[in-house]
Structure 1
Amino acid sequence: MRPTGGNVSTNGTRTHVLRYRGPGAPLLLVPGITSPAITWGFVAERLAQVFDTFVVDVRGRGLSSSGPGLDYGLDAMADDLSTLIAALKVENVTVLGHSMGARIAIRAAVRDASSMARLVLVDPPVSGPGRRPYPAKLSWYLDSIRLAVEGMDADAMRAFCPTWSEEQLGLRAEWLHTCFEPAIVAAFEGFHTDDIHKDLRQLALPVALMIAGRGGVIEAADEAEIAALNPAIRTTRVSDAGHMIPWDDFDGFFQALDVLLGTSFGRSAA
């Protein structure tokens, strides 16, 4: 499936969006810290079997506004999401956020969930003030970005993502240079300074949480704390996947969505 692309004026910036047209209700996918929208294409194509799917380039990544002078904090990115939903004129949208994208979705929903039907939070970092640090190292991101800026291929990217397919490695190598280093640093620092736990308590719309069984991001104690903060959150684990769940267990990712959303991706793939 070939997506259509477009640029939308949001919150004083340009936001680039890919659309994978599907038959159902709208779904807006918000990627993680160094994932331009195009790198989620293999997931969006399958999502489009059920949903009219949009994938966003978060500011400082892909084809959205970037460069010095922009605010790359969580609040600014959350406001981008809210104004994007308004600009797209979609109602009752499912917002699926991975990692940093899940934190963006949480903050945006606390501020204004009027056009959102539900959130799907995929392995969001639960670090924050006074909490254990996020398990990934900032240097892992920055080293690969600097190599991508110089020019790298799939073979060079394999050192950072050894289990990925050749196509996935090539796409990341092609697009990683669009991740503006100060934006990545700001987001990573925000993992440790922004408190999303207080936001989780305030969420009033339906929320589903997908946890990577081998990611090390959300541990059993974290899952219990989230359940105590907001008992209405539905949770499932993808046992054999690391933090990049669809890359590690593509079918497991969609089977988890079936559990959380009542969809039938697993049956449609059979």
Structure 2
Amino acid sequence: MPSTYLYGANVNANGIRQHYLRYGGNEGERAKRDAVILIPGITSPAVTWGFVAETLGRQFDTYVLDVRGRGLSEASTTLDYSLDAQAEDVRALAQALKLERYAFVGHSMGARIALRAARTQPRGLTRAVLIDPPVSGPGRRAYPSKLPWYVDSIALATKGIDAEGMRAFCPTWTEEQLRLRAQWLHTCDERAIRASFEGFHTDDIHADLPKLRVPALLMTAERGDVVRETDVAEMQTLAPELQHTRVPNAGHMIPWDNEAGFYAAFGDFLGARLV
């Protein structure tokens, strides 16, 4: 099947350089549908979600973001890596790209960014997909992953690591997935990762849920212990219109574990089925 990848580009939005990858375009049937802004997780540069964007791009004009401090987006010793800054980034990105109607699709940290951005009801946002968001926060249980898992692997990648060396951190991944992570992980700024990980435990995303005014889909993994059934119930109490689907045979990195199940879980929520 032909690739839907179009190009990578940079834009100045929210006062920083934001890099993104574009898939699909806005011609044909895609022109009738809302664009998609895909927001990856804490140590996932945009390119590592390319295989998902390929599929999204068959139905939607798709933009995959390098969150600040990751990939080819801006990073520095003075950059604000807070959740609020990241949320303002995606709002500003949509404006800079002149998107009239668009959806957020965020994974893990990206889901928290999408939710924080959505609470301000940005112009043009039509829906949001929140994929296995960390539900940690003030007074709540800790996020299951530990900071050294991220920091240690980044340190090794910065010096140079191959796929086999990365296998110790991601033992279930394929050779291709490991090679890509080994190639790009060094672009994740440790300061950004530390700030985001700390934010998992200090930012209260549950306070954002009652302010959600667009249709939203919560997609969770059957394994990984990131979002439990009790968490889903609480989130739906706070946002009664929040839809939920759980993907079987998958841990937190859902499309890596069960790609077909991941696409099926969207149903027609975005306006067209992915499978």
TM-score normalized with structure 2 length = 0.94
Task: Indicate yes or no: 2:168 matched with 1:149.
Answer: no
CA distance in 1, matches of 2:233, 2:270: 21
1:66-87 CA-partner distances (Å, limit 9, x unpaired): 0210000000001111100000
5 Å-filtered alignment, 1:1-80, equals 1=3, 2-22=5-25, 23-24=29-30, 25=33, 26-80=35-89
Figure out how many residues of one structure are paired with residues of the other and give that number: 266
Shift of 1:112: 3.4
Task: Indicate yes or no: 2:238 matched with 1:235.
Answer: no
Shift of 1:263: 3.1
Aligned equivalent of 1:212, options 217, 221, 239 = 221
Task: Indicate yes or no: 2:122 matched with 1:119.
Answer: no
Match of 2:148 in 1: 139
- The alignment partner of 1:78 has SS state of helix
CA distance in 2, matches of 1:238, 1:152: 32
- The 1:211/1:148 distance shift into structure 2, 3 A limit, reads same
CA distance in 1, matches of 2:269, 2:220: 12
CA distance in 2, matches of 1:43, 1:157: 21
Unaligned runs of 5+ residues in structure 2 are: none
CA distance in 2, matches of 1:91, 1:153: 42
Shift of 1:259: 5.9
103-112 vs 232-241, greater mean Cα deviation: 103-112
Task: Indicate yes or no: 2:233 matched with 1:224.
Answer: yes
The CA RMSD over aligned residues, in Å, is: 1.1
CA distance in 2, matches of 1:68, 1:248: 35
CA distance in 2, matches of 1:194, 1:209: 19
CA distance in 1, matches of 2:147, 2:17: 26
5 Å-filtered alignment, 1:76-115, equals 76-115=85-124
Amino acid at match of 2:21: L
Amino acid at match of 2:17: R
CA contact (8 A) 1:236 1:259 kept: no
Amino acid at match of 1:12: G
CA distance in 1, matches of 2:50, 2:90: 19
CA contact (8 A) 2:13 2:96 kept: yes
TM-score normalized with structure 1 length = 0.96
1:37-65 CA-partner distances (Å, limit 9, x unpaired): 00000000011111111000000000000
CA distance in 1, matches of 2:174, 2:270: 28
- The 1:218/1:180 distance shift into structure 2, 3 A limit, reads same
CA contact (8 A) 2:82 2:195 kept: yes
